[in-house]
Amino acid sequence: MKHIDEYRDKTLVDNLIRKIESEVSRPWTIMEICGGQTHAIMKYNLLDLLPREITMVHGPGCPVCVTPIELIEKALILSRRENTILASFGDMLRVPGSTTDLLSTKALGGNVQMVYSPLDAVQLAIDHPHMQVVFFAVGFETTAPAVALAVSQANIRKIDNFSILVAHVLVPPAIQALLSAPQNRIDGFLAAGHVCTVMGYEQYIPIAEKYKTPMVVTGFEPVDILFGIQKTVHMLESGVVGVENAYPRSVKKEGNLPAQALLKEIFEIGDRNWRGIGPIPGSGYHLREKYRRFNADLLFDLQGIEAEEPAICIAGEILTGNKKPFECSAFGTLCKPEKPLGAPMVSSEGACAAYFKYSITEKN
């Protein structure tokens, strides 16, 4: 399949591994920020191919994983509310709240509808004019433009029974939080290609310069990831600080300007709490004042709801790259995909789910 098979080519993979081996002279720790890249690394067993000097750690780039538990609680409340439909992407349905999840609530009669697009939720509101439809808006900058479009369409069409529960988070503030942490041991970053397709990578440049940490934008296939690692190693070994684009078939420096304009129209940037990590300043999208009538938090008086993570779950340590999933005492025993304690075991981008699926049970 064109544009996929060539990025899984064994000869190219072997050549990149040899190039990395020839360039690396000392230990380096590299974080792939995106959970999709984590799954690709595990699926194609890239950890075993890399030289021992390279340590890969996994970042918080899994939007399902970092959605705070209090937002799950709010979604659960809405799913039980009379004359209300909670619309959500499928990967949120099994994320645990404090006592249950949306899928279990749906089985008990909660009105939860899985959708494939925020615009599907707008259509639900049109089709059910006597119901309140709330879309659970989760994701990084990749999915936020589609949510912004849904709000814009609802506004233009004067749909008054549609709202969103906003949980959007932003990558650059998370990177800064990781690099400024006292326990930081990250030498270089692989930046997420899909996020940069929307936002470009100009905002990463001052972060790389401030923390003297090279960053390489890359994709999600084995050749993409190894090419990104090779470029990162080259920058580290050469003492080069900055941002390089190893995913030019999708990413431009300036990103997708129309999408950015739509985001700026609908959202403003504010603080956001991250599951397992805590509050990160300026790391979330919030609806602007002119669109507050679409804010489910305000419409249904959901402010002030709190909940606690299971004490045994170390999702925060895993999401910040300080521990690997197999270092959690609950991994594979009390916490499994069919009965997860934490979100990283649920999501298709979660590190725990990747380690469980590909049977990674000890350090590689």
Domain 68-168+256-299 in the same topology as domain 5-62+171-245 = yes
pLDDT of residue 360: 61
pLDDT of residue 199: 97
Q: What are phi and psi of 3, to 5 degrees?
A: 75, 5
Residue 115's pLDDT is 96
The phi, psi pair for 4, rounded to 5°, reads -125, -55
Report the topology of domain 68-168+256-299: Rossmann fold (3.40.50)
Query: By C-alpha distance, which of 133, 155, 137 is closest to 146?
Result: 137
User: Which residue is it, tokens 């669109």?
Assistant: 291
The pTM for the full model equals 0.93
The candidate with the shortest Cα–Cα distance to 140, out of 95, 185, 197, is 197
The architecture CATH gives domain 5-62+171-245: 3-Layer(aba) Sandwich (3.40)
Pairing mode, strands 188-192 and 28-34: parallel
Give the dihedral sign, CA 90/94/98/99.
positive
Three-class DSSP category at 116: coil
For 251-263, the pLDDT digits (tens) are 999 999 999 999 9
How do the domains of the chain map onto residue ranges?
A: 5-62+171-245, 68-168+256-299
% of the chain beyond a pLDDT of 90: 83
Nearest Cα to Cα of residue 234 among 212, 247, 216: 216
Check residue 362 and give its pLDDT. Answer: 53
Given this model, what pLDDT does residue 343 score? 86
| Per-residue pLDDT tens listing for the chain (364 residues) | 566 778 888 999 999 999 999 999 999 999 999 999 999 999 999 999 999 999 999 999 898 899 989 999 999 999 999 999 999 999 899 888 888 999 999 999 999 999 999 999 999 999 999 999 999 999 999 999 999 999 999 999 999 999 999 999 999 999 999 999 998 999 999 999 999 999 999 999 999 999 999 999 999 999 999 999 999 999 999 999 999 999 999 999 999 999 999 999 999 999 999 988 899 999 999 999 999 999 999 999 998 888 787 888 898 899 999 999 999 999 999 999 888 888 899 888 899 999 999 876 554 4
pLDDT digits (tens, 9 = 90+) for 304-326: 888 787 888 898 899 999 999 99
Tokens of 147: 């949510």
The total number of residues shown for the chain amounts to 364
pLDDT at 51: 97
The CA–CA distances, whole Å, from 275 to 115, 124, 325 equal 23, 29, 16
